[in-house]
Amino acid sequence: MKVVITGGTGFIGLRLARSLLQRDHLTGPDGKPAIIDEMVLFDAVEPVERPAGLDARVSIVSGDISDGETVRDLVDRDDISIFHLASVVSGGGEKDFDLAMRVNLDGGRHVFEAARSRQGTPRVVFASSIAAFGGDDMPEKVGDNTKQNPQTTYGMTKSIGEMMINDYTRKGFLDGRSARLPTVIIRPGKPNAAASSFVSGVFREPLNGVDFVLPVKLETLMPVLGYRAIVDGIIALHELPGERLGTDRAVSLPALNVSVAQMIEALNTAAGERSLGKISVQPDPFIEEIVASWPLGTHFARATNLGLPREDNLEDIVSYYIADYLETS
């Protein structure tokens, strides 16, 4: 079978690709295990160098996801699964509404329509976000039964994507699943345009010996999850029989509901004898306004009952980031 990952050369996209290659198989559209013999990583820009850990089954394609013909060309087999991760992130979406609409909304519909055009019902996993929640009446903790009232353009496009997945599945066009992600930690490399980028930066920069300016207050609360559990959860959601999901195909992944102060405490504990950069607090009104529109925590009993994974604590997440990206460099 073929696998297409949009946003495939991003951090989560590449980790997902490598995990799938090691796994070697997925459940195909016919419900039976199928060997992965082809994989396409699609992204807006092709990397300068081919990323490590990709074998001959993998091709990298660059292009505009808002172009329907480009997307249809990717989805050229009936025995296919699609992981739709491509997105303009939160801060970028607030600064450029038209770009977010073109990439997130139009691009998502092109992906779903391409899947619809194939024979059978290919499985499509859509990466959504807890930014789909918001508004004056949002409870402190949200879950699969919470009303969605997003207060960012990014969150709005994610909420619409979830509804499209549900309806395309109801109509029998595809077999869709939406993984509603908390903030992913710890992302290596440089900060991106996401308003939540500081949640990785507060770990990553000090571990690299770089001072870090925190743009929110220490008491700020956020649900987070490590990248290993995110990838494992996305794959597990793909593999679930559709009848276990029912009519609502969106699942809030399990998360750790923590404060920024707790993040820093976990950093200091897991770092051990490492010399860390200093952390100072300098709130940024733009970032704080966006973060304030998000939930303080999540409920995830449904995800737990479905067997989706979660780390036990923040210290574990910091420790495997050190092992994956610092001790091997």
Annotated catalytic residues are: 154
- Dist. CA 142–CA 133, nearest whole Å: 8
- Dist. CA 313–CA 256, nearest whole Å: 7
Structure tokens that stand for 69 in this block: 């013909």
Structure tokens that stand for 93 in this block: 């979406």
Q: What is the DSSP code string of 36-66? A: --EEEEEESS--SSPPTT--TTEEEEE--TT
Q: Residue 111: what residue type?
A: V
- Dist. CA 115–CA 290, nearest whole Å: 33
- Dist. CA 30–CA 122, nearest whole Å: 8
CA distances from 242 to 30, 211, 271 (A): 12, 47, 42
